[in-house]
């Protein structure tokens, strides 16, 4: 648009505003009556000039309430009992018993996507604990399509989050990065709590993007490895902007361990208090940092914390398996984040 045309439009607009103001003044002012006057004839409201903005709503009118996210229905007593029984059987390595209770749980869940997710998570825990990672993965893959159709649920996000760890345990950091992307996308299209969803998506995405990309770099050489390390460091730098002190420390311990920086690895690992951080994956990376830095006694103390009795879970089963694999010196090594070149 040329400058002259803009000036003409402005003059026309100003003339319209003057006309509206004059009309409003004429409507607002009325002469004071000196003598009784006959009853006034009802008049129409003052007209509004074409193109003028609509009347402003009263400031006292409350804004429309935002729709509140709905929470899924809790499991029925029958489903809850079956899942608890399957978890107890898993803890006792009673695989036949776990499968029997999981079958009952599947029947009780019916076609409800949230309840099916709860069953899938316990089923995946059963298989990871038994060392069958492919069946654990299949448990989540089976429910992903239905979860994708329910953006009001957090379940798709958490299913992909669990799948990241399973892919890592399979020695597939590239597959884990794909799951991280899917988790982030599911949060972007989700309709559950806006603030929680945004914060959680950022925290999980950047932490895992840094961790998994640095892990993937160990299986590459030359320019490809240098590029992946740069990407990992960029994700870590972005993650630092939000705080998360101890979560940053465990990543710094891991990066320094892989880079052969012994002093930096042990210093970062010692910034984490194992008595307060109950995230078993954090503690695993603390062990890596302490071992890489030569603090074997400190690493063993953290291992004891990790090995304390607890309910079976996907993360616990995988981390304890990694501890055992890292302790072995025989070749070939099993893939772990610390020995990420093994396949």
Per-residue model confidence as pLDDT tens digits over 237-259: 999 999 888 999 999 999 999 99
Fold of domain 73-228? 1.25.40
DSSP 3-state of 171: coil
Q: Are 187 and 157 in contact (CB under 8 A)?
A: yes
Question: pTM to 2 decimals?
Answer: 0.79
Q: What is the pLDDT of residue 322?
A: 97
Of the listed ranges 26-40, 99-113, 168-182, 254-268, the one predicted with least confidence: 26-40
DSSP 3-state of 226: helix
- Token couple for 209: 């993007």
- Token couple for 115: 């309840």
Residues 288, 338: Cα–Cα separation, whole Å: 7
| Residue ranges per structural domain of the chain | 73-228, 244-343
Q: Would you place residue 71 in the very low, low, confident or very high pLDDT band (cuts 50, 70, 90)? A: confident
Q: How many residues does the chain have?
A: 343
For residues 68 and 254, which has the higher predicted lDDT (pLDDT)?
A: 254
Q: Are 315 and 301 in contact (CB under 8 A)?
A: no
Q: Would you place residue 68 in the very low, low, confident or very high pLDDT band (cuts 50, 70, 90)? A: low
Render pLDDT for 105-159 as a digit per residue (tens, 0 to 9).
Answer: 999 999 999 999 999 999 999 999 999 999 999 999 999 999 999 999 999 999 9
């Amino acid at each position: 648009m040329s400058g002259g045309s803009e000036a003409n439009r402005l003059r026309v607009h100003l003339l319209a505003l003057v006309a509206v103001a004059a009309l409003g003044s004429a409507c607002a002012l009325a002469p004071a009556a000196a003598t009784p006057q006959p009853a006034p004839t009802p008049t129409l409201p003052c007209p509004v000039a074409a193109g003028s903005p609509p009347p402003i709503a009263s400031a006292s009118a409350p804004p429309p309430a935002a729709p509140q996210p709905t929470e899924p229905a809790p499991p029925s007593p029958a489903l809850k009992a079956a899942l608890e029984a399957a978890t107890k059987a898993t803890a006792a390595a009673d695989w036949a018993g776990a499968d029997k209770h999981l079958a009952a749980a599947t029947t009780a869940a019916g076609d409800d996507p949230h309840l099916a997710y709860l069953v899938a998570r316990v089923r995946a825990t059963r298989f990871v604990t038994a060392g069958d990672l492919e069946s654990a993965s299949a448990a989540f893959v089976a429910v992903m399509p239905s979860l994708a159709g329910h953006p009001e649920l957090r379940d798709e996000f958490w299913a992909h989050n669990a799948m990241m760890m399973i892919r890592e345990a399979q020695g597939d950091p590239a597959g884990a990065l794909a799951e991280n992307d899917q988790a982030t996308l599911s949060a972007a299209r989700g309709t559950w709590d806006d603030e929680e969803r945004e914060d959680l998506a950022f925290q999980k995405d950047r932490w895992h993007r840094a961790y998994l990309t640095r892990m993937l770099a160990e299986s590459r050489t030359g320019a490809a490895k240098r590029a992946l390390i740069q990407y990992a460091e960029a994700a870590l730098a972005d993650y630092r902007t939000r705080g998360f002190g101890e979560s940053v420390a465990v990543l710094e311990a891991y990066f320094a361990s892989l880079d052969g920086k012994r002093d930096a690895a042990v210093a970062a690992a010692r910034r984490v208090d194992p008595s307060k951080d109950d995230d078993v994956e954090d503690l695993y990376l603390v062990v890596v940092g302490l071992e890489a830095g030569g603090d074997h006694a400190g690493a063993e103390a953290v291992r004891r914390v990790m090995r304390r009795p607890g309910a079976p879970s996907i993360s616990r089963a995988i981390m304890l398996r990694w501890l055992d694999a890292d302790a072995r010196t025989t070749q070939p090594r099993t893939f772990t984040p610390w020995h990420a070149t093994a396949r």
